[in-house]
Every structure is written in structure tokens, then in C-alpha cells.
Amino acid sequence: MSYKIAPAGSSVVSVAPTCLIQITLSSAQTASAGDVVVFDTIASTSTPSLSLNATTGEITLDSTKHYYIQASIQVDRSSTTSDFNFAWIDSSGTTLTTADGAFDATWEYHASSVGIGETTTCTANYITRSPTSAVRLKALTLAASSSVRTDTTVFIMEVTP
């Protein structure tokens, strides 16, 4: 598989080898604020250069690649009036910000949202060229004993520039 890219500052478009990767949970994970989602299953269109630590949920990215990462987070909240926020963190536990190319997933309770049920979905994104750290997905805000569902999925496009 390939993807057309133009290097920064260039109008020349080239074809770059690309691998599509899906990372999931094999079983639901009980979680609270401060917990990292421990993804443990990986599938891909070819052999990826990244690796997944199925014990810690850490995704080690290849520093020679470009990555477009999107986590679709499915949560059964233990309280229908609770908020949640998930964000990408680096290997030292620092929350990645928009300046790093990361965008968190936030769902906030509002009285007008009553009746939508306990399950909610949001996406957290991370876009990086030549990453310098592995990443994990962390619950920054989440009611105690909530459940991260098995349909929580990370989709990754790994591009070789």
C-alpha cells in the first residue's frame, strides 16, 4: 500500500510506502482517572515498524516514519453524570498537547444530554513526523470503575517518507 505525500515546503508529490494498523483490546478494561489503556492486540496490512507492548499498552513508534493516529474511545461510564478525558502521553508520562500534534478526547456531561445512556464515544488524535517517544493513551478524567470497551480502537497510518 502507498500514500501520496509532499515533503514540507515542497510541491513535489511522491508515493510513500504505507502500513495501516489497528490496535484493540481483547477484553474490556476497568479504569479510573490516571489509568492507561492497555491495548493488547494488533493487526496490520503489512509488517509495521512500530511495536505494541501488550503488558503496558505502550506503542513504540519508529523515529524514521510519519504517523497519523486516531483512537476511538468507547466508555461505559460508571455514572451517567460523569465526564471523561483521554489524552496521549509520552514514555515519561507527559501529556502530549496540540503543540506536539496531539488532540485529546473529552466528553462533558450536560443536563441536556440526559437519556443518551452510559456509553459515550470520543476520539483522541496524534500526528507526528519522526517521533522521539513511545505513546500511551491515558484517562485524565474518568469516574472510578468505568469500563473501556473492547470496541475501543486505535487506527494508525504509518508512512515511510
Among residues 99, 94, 65, 78, the alpha carbon closest in space to that of 31 is found at 78
Residue 92, Cβ density class (10 Å: 0-12 exposed, 13-18 middle, ≥19 buried): exposed
For residue 9, the model assigns a pLDDT of 74
Distance CA 134, CA 71 (A): 15
What pTM was computed for the model? Answer: 0.87
Q: Which three cell numbers stand for residue 59?
A: 506503542
Q: Return the amino acid letter for 153.
A: T
For residue 83, the model assigns a pLDDT of 85
| Dihedral angle sign, alpha carbons of residues 78, 140, 134, 124 | positive
Q: Which domains does the chain have, with CATH numbers?
A: 17-159 (2.60.120.40)
The answer to whether 149 and 28 have CB atoms below 8 angstroms apart is: yes
Per-residue pLDDT tens digits of the chain, which is 161 residues long: 666 666 677 777 778 899 999 999 999 999 999 999 999 999 999 999 999 999 999 999 999 999 999 999 999 887 777 889 999 999 999 999 999 999 999 887 766 555 555 566 789 999 999 999 999 999 999 999 999 999 999 999 999 98
The answer to whether 9 and 27 have CB atoms below 8 angstroms apart is: no
For residue 13, the model assigns a pLDDT of 76
For 3, residues 6+ apart whose C-beta sits below 8 A from its C-beta are 15, 16, 18, 157, 159
For residue 53, the model assigns a pLDDT of 97
Helix (H, G, I), strand (E, B) or coil at 98: helix
